[in-house]
Amino acid sequence: MSTAFGPYIREKREALKKQDKRFSLRKVAQRVGIEPSYLSKVERGLPAPLSEEKIRAISVDLGENADLLLALSGKVSADVQEIIRKRPELFTEIIRQMEDLPDNAVLRLVREVRDGKW
């Protein structure tokens, strides 16, 4: 889908490869469990969708944040979607309201919720 994901992980992978030959496209593909030719297409942004599972495996292998990589490939984590679907009216409302908040305001909310003030 999104053209951003492929080039992004290609760059990350090649950076790692410079210090560690275990990060060749073929080796990564093998560890992740996909065909090298398919990962090649993915990295070049050709139409080659990856499942959430494979994206997660790549994020582990490359040491990247899974939710970021999912976002770059146009997805939202299945567990987050499920949380929303359990209380759709409530959660969609708060998410839409938070859209325009600056990062630091959202972060403050995260902390306050985590610290059990609610």
Residues lying near DNA in the complex (CB under 7 A) are found at: 1, 17, 21, 24-27, 33-41, 43-44, 47-54
Nearest CB to DNA, comparing residues 22 and 87: 22
Interaction partner, residue 25 (DNA, a second copy, none; CB < 5-8 Å by kind)? DNA
Considering only 18, 20, 63, 99, the residue that binds a second copy (CB under 8 A) is: 99
Q: Work out how close the CB of 88 gets to DNA at its nearest, in angstroms, rounded to a whole number.
A: 17
By CB under 8 A, residue 15 contacts a second copy: no
Helix 25-32 and helix 52-62, axial crossing angle in degrees, nearest 10: 130
**Phi, psi (5° rounding) for residue 37?**
-60, -35
**Phi, psi (5° rounding) for residue 77?**
-45, 135
* Nearest-angstrom CA–CA distance, 59 and 69: 7
